[in-house]
Chain A
Amino acid sequence: MLLLRLAWKSASARAGSTILTVLAIALSTALVLGVEKIRAGARAGFEQTVSGADLVVGARSGSINLLLYAVFRLGDPTTNISWRTYETFAERPDVAWTIPLSLGDSHGGFRVLGTAKTYFDYYRHGDKRLLAFDQGGVFDGVYDAVLGAEAARDLGYDIGDTFEISHGIQSAAFAEHAGHPFTVKGILKPTGTPVDRTIHTSLEGIEAVHANWRFGAPSSLGASRAGQGAQAPADLQPKAITAFLVGLKSKTAVLRYQREVNTYRGEALMGVIPGVALSQLWRVLGPAEDALRVVSILVMVAGLTGLLTTLLSTLNERRREIAVFRAVGARQRDVFALLVFESTLVAGIGALAGAAALNTLLAIFGRTLEASIGAPLGPLGLSVYDAYVIVAVTAIGFVMGLAPAWIAYRRSLADGLSVRV
């Protein structure tokens, strides 16, 4: 008790160097915890995005690739699958629902997704939640659009506003699907998933703007007709889609259904179980995550080495104090404990301050950060991992204190009663 008080007073008497040390430890703790929060958040975000669908079906490529472009709207789709194939698999008796997805266009940097109304009935995110509308409702006409929360906010669109979409992912002005203005019919509530950054239209709308295209570019024939206004062409039955999500009536049918997709003779298809593809993705990302973690731990080591340096550099001025403590009856082990307490105290306070600072920063800037990295962060507050890190940093502080404590202990033995200044 007395020793703890003395250690505290000694640390606060050297406020300058103590604060710097605490700061270094706080920063490195915040970094370690922050990296973990982003990592866990990204994982949770990915996992939240795919809740509900039993299978993702698309043209045969890599399972991670399919998952990324179909569900997370990352990267570019490779090949389309035909509408007939989609119908074949959608009409199987064990299918509860399907959601067709047609990607490849964009507006203002946001991807345009052509889909069916089933999207709003069956697409689930997070804890099996359905999509909810903030304003308006489901698209009805061919040129109606439903905007994700973030897309609507960033573009500044309201119900009734119109816009045109362009071919490709970039918002470059070339290859505009001019003459086909879409009208905002609904705006979704935020979900913390890629849905927020998506512009949804009907498949017919996508078909309409591509009606006169051939092989991914406007046909010379179509170009002359492009300016004919937003008149919906007569036959808007989509000929192809990018992928589709499947919900089955029974979970036990998943593997059989997947096998049938993978062995389908009409077209090279592949069916991916989202959870399985995700764990493959984590395996791929594992080394990168580890590298990030190693870097943050090295920063932590640097911070804690600062603590050791500070303690060692104050040993000389402490020599007199320690002689005084010995003279008034402090035992050798008290001298030892004094230094260990101080380093433990500084490390512990640094770790707590780091966790507190991180949570404060996330509480203030978390939303902005989530938007810019496109994935939700972990929840605020202390997780088990956070507590573990704080305890570990404090424990390392304790171990770091052993070296100067040992030196002080040896010196105070050699000094005897007098202080060699």
Chain B
Amino acid sequence: MQKQNSVSITDLTFAWRGNQPDLAIDEFKIDAGETIFLHGASGSGKSTLLGLITGVLSGQSGALTVLGRSLGELSAPQRDGLRAQSMGVIFQQFNLVPYLTLIENVLLPCGFSSSRAHRTGPNHASRCEAAQNLLERLGVGAEAREGRAVSALSVGQQQRVAAARALIGAPALIIADEPTSALDAGSRDIFIETLLHEAKAASIVFVSHDASLAAGFDRTVSMGDVNGALRTGREV
């Protein structure tokens, strides 16, 4: 079975307000399994692009196809369903729901997509085991076993639990929005290494303003090159 692109964008424009587009992309493609390092200054449209790809934002014009589905043709609940089923998202911080256990946090996507739940394991016990195994490999297994509260974890540990949640049930696309900006240099490198290793066949869009992290990725993309709106917009 041949899979073409994870993400395919053609002539995409999006405006938060008014007529002046904040995001204008002529052509941008991510191959299946390809890992992308996306860097750009704040305000360069990174968050907008990620919002559109994950289907949280809508209202764009042009063609946006994610995992074989044309997002413009999907309803909001359908886009949400696609995200639950086939995407993993890691934020910069505050990734975890404080009143859920680490395992519950990891298994959250399974609550919103039954196919993702089944990919993770046939029943609740096996899914918990899968989550625990993933947390072990990411180096926070002990914390989960001890039943630590989210608030008792360091930021680095929290980010690793967030990575486990993004990876659970082997989604095809992982979006990481500056996941390492709150980490020190040592744990930052380990985090990226583990993420790339565990993601295996998934495409990854890894956003950072720190270009020095780009080494392990298949391709580096600069927002400045991709977003045409930056060039025209700044001249005014």
Question: In the complex, how many angstroms separate the beta carbon of A341 from the nearest chain B beta carbon?
Answer: 14
Q: Which residue of A lies closest to B165 (CB)?
A: A328
Question: In the complex, how many angstroms separate the beta carbon of A15 from the nearest chain B beta carbon?
Answer: 10
Segment among B64-72, B97-105, B128-136, B217-225 that sits at the interface with chain A: B97-105
Question: In the complex, how many angstroms separate the beta carbon of B14 from the nearest chain A beta carbon?
Answer: 11
B contact residues around A419 at 8 Å (CB):
91, 94
Whether A39 sits at the interface, judged by CB under 8 Å, is no
Bitwise interface map of B from 158 to 179 toward A, beta carbon under 8 Å scored 1, else 0? 0000000100000000010100
Most buried by B among A6, A326, A416: A416
Whether B89 sits at the interface, judged by CB under 8 Å, is yes
Q: Which residue of B lies closest to A3 (CB)?
A: B111
A contact residues around B92 at 8 Å (CB):
418
Question: In the complex, how many angstroms separate the beta carbon of B74 from the nearest chain A beta carbon?
Answer: 12
Complex Cα spacing A2 to B57, Å: 24
Q: Number of residues in A with C-beta < 8 Å to the partner?
A: 25
Q: Which residue of A lies closest to B83 (CB)?
A: A329
Whether A265 sits at the interface, judged by CB under 8 Å, is no
Asked if residues B109 and A417 are in contact (CB atoms below 8 Å), the reply is no
Given contacts A333-B77, A418-B51, contact A320 B111 (CB under 8 A): no
Complex Cα spacing A13 to B95, Å: 17
B contact residues around A12 at 8 Å (CB):
99
A contact residues around B85 at 8 Å (CB):
329
Bitwise interface map of B from 34 to 58 toward A, beta carbon under 8 Å scored 1, else 0? 0000000000000110110010110
Complex Cα spacing A181 to B31, Å: 110
Question: In the complex, how many angstroms separate the beta carbon of A321 from the nearest chain B beta carbon?
Answer: 5
Q: Which residue of A lies closest to B49 (CB)?
A: A417
Most buried by A among B47, B51, B56, B98: B56
B contact residues around A328 at 8 Å (CB):
83-84, 89, 108-109, 111-112, 165
Whether B60 sits at the interface, judged by CB under 8 Å, is no
Most buried by B among A321, A325, A331: A331
Q: Number of residues in B with C-beta < 8 Å to the partner?
A: 33
Question: In the complex, how many angstroms separate the beta carbon of B67 from the nearest chain A beta carbon?
Answer: 13
Asked if residues B47 and A329 are in contact (CB atoms below 8 Å), the reply is no
Given contacts A327-B89, A328-B108, A329-B80, contact A418 B177 (CB under 8 A): yes
Most buried by B among A2, A321, A329: A329
A contact residues around B48 at 8 Å (CB):
416
Given contacts A327-B54, A327-B89, contact A421 B94 (CB under 8 A): yes
Q: Can you pick out 12 interface pairs between chain A and chain B where the beta carbons lie within 8 Å of each other?
A: A12-B99, A13-B99, A328-B83, A329-B83, A329-B87, A329-B113, A330-B80, A330-B112, A332-B77, A417-B54, A418-B47, A418-B51
Task: Please name the 7 residue pairs, one residue from A and one from B, whose CB atoms are nearest each other, closest first.
Answer: A329-B84, A13-B99, A329-B112, A416-B51, A327-B89, A320-B94, A2-B111
